[in-house]
């Protein structure tokens, strides 16, 4: 089985994929350069599964991943989730003094997670976004005064120096990853289901939709709105609930929700991360 992830080697996504494939035999991991390419590897049948970052405890959603799953990723289902701790390092090729740093490279999620640190220590540095943190670490090679923000593992893999550690704005920092496939997970009894829907633009319609979950005592673990992309001020809601879409109670809630929404898509049911 082939599993796609955001490469190159040394990304946090690779850490997630290593954790996911521990003890799984006959799997091959395949690197892609961008998050959209990782998601598309399922629809292109290049891989059977893919691991993507979806949400971070400091910065919130990885919008490109959320939006693609809502709008573009037909036939792709969520079959798993996992959460890993994220510790960012400041990385350079050669020893460098903070005052000589003029450029910082990293993935935009990592930059956002270290915003206060960057503005305190490097108020005048240029900030350049890369497709991944490991890409940023590769980008500092032979570039005096250019530093990367990324995982310790990437610094070790590419033989770079760690200048500072644990530089994220909140020490306890976690990112949730999703496992995508053409099929979602089987019923385990400890599942979650992700759905997206839109409601008519009339008073009480969101309340009405969420009322279905409240009446059936289905616990909601997340709600997020994203622009519908059709009209300013129109939104699509991503909701995670406890239970599997094949559980009777969830099945009947989804049926009822259909009648109270303009559009409803089930993104998948999968075991809750412990």
Ligand X SMILES: O=C(O)C(=O)C[C@]1(C(=O)O)C=C[C@@H](O)C=C1
Closest to ligand X by CB, 86 or 250: 86
Give 52 or 267: the residue with its C-beta nearer to ligand X: 52
Nearest approach in angstroms of CB 123 to ligand X is 23
Residue 98 CB, nearest approach to ligand X (Å): 23
User: How near is the Cβ of 151 to ligand X at its closest, in Å?
Assistant: 6
| 3-class SS shares of the chain: helix, strand, coil, % to 5 | 30, 35, 35
DSSP string for 37-74:
HHHHHHHTTS-SEEEEEEEETTTEE-HHHHHHHHHT-T
Which CB atom, from 86 or from 180, has the smaller least distance to ligand X?
A: 86
Q: How many CB atoms sit inside 10 A of residue 229's CB? A: 11
Shortest Å distance, C-beta 156 to ligand X: 14
The smaller minimum CB distance to ligand X, of residues 158 and 197, is found at 158
Query: Interface with ligand X by CB under 6 A: which residues?
Result: 6, 11-13, 53, 56, 62, 86, 107, 109-110, 132-134, 175
The 8-class DSSP code of residue 186 comes to P
Minimum CB distance to ligand X smaller for 11 or for 193 = 11
3-state secondary structure 86-148: CCCEEEECCCCCHHHCCEEEEEHHHHHHCHHHHHHHCCCCEEEEECCHHHHHHHCCCCCCEEE
Tokens representing residue 56 in the block:
């971070």
Q: How far is the CB of 34 from ligand X (least distance, A)?
A: 10
Element spanning 175, H or E: strand 174-181
């Amino acid at each position: 089985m082939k599993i796609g992830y955001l490469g190159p080697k040394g990304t946090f996504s690779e850490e997630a994929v290593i954790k996911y494939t521990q003890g799984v035999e006959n799997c091959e991991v395949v690197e892609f350069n961008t998050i959209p390419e990782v998601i598309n590897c399922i629809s292109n049948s290049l891989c059977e599964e893919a691991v993507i970052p979806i949400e971070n405890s400091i910065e919130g959603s990885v919008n490109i991943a959320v939006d693609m799953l809502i709008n573009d990723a037909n036939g792709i289902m969520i079959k798993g989730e996992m959460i890993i701790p994220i510790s960012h390092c400041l990385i350079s090729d050669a020893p460098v003094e903070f005052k000589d740093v003029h450029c910082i490279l990293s993935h935009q999620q990592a930059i956002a997670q270290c915003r206060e640190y960057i503005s305190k220590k490097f108020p005048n540095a240029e900030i350049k976004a890369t497709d991944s943190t490991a890409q940023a670490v590769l980008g500092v090679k032979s570039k005096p005064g250019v530093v990367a923000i990324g995982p310790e593992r990437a610094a070790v893999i590419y033989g770079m120096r760690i200048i500072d550690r644990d530089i994220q704005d909140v020490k306890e920092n976690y990112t949730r990853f999703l496992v995508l496939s053409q099929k979602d997970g089987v019923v385990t009894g400890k599942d979650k289901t992700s759905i997206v829907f839109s409601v008519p633009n009339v008073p009480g319609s969101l309340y009405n939709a969420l009322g279905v979950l409240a009446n059936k005592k289905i616990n909601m673990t997340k709600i997020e709105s994203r622009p519908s992309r059709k009209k300013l001020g129109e939104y699509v809601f991503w909701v995670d609930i406890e239970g599997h879409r094949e559980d009777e109670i969830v099945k009947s809630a989804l049926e009822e929700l259909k009648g109270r929404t303009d559009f409803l898509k089930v993104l998948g049911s999968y075991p809750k991360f412990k």
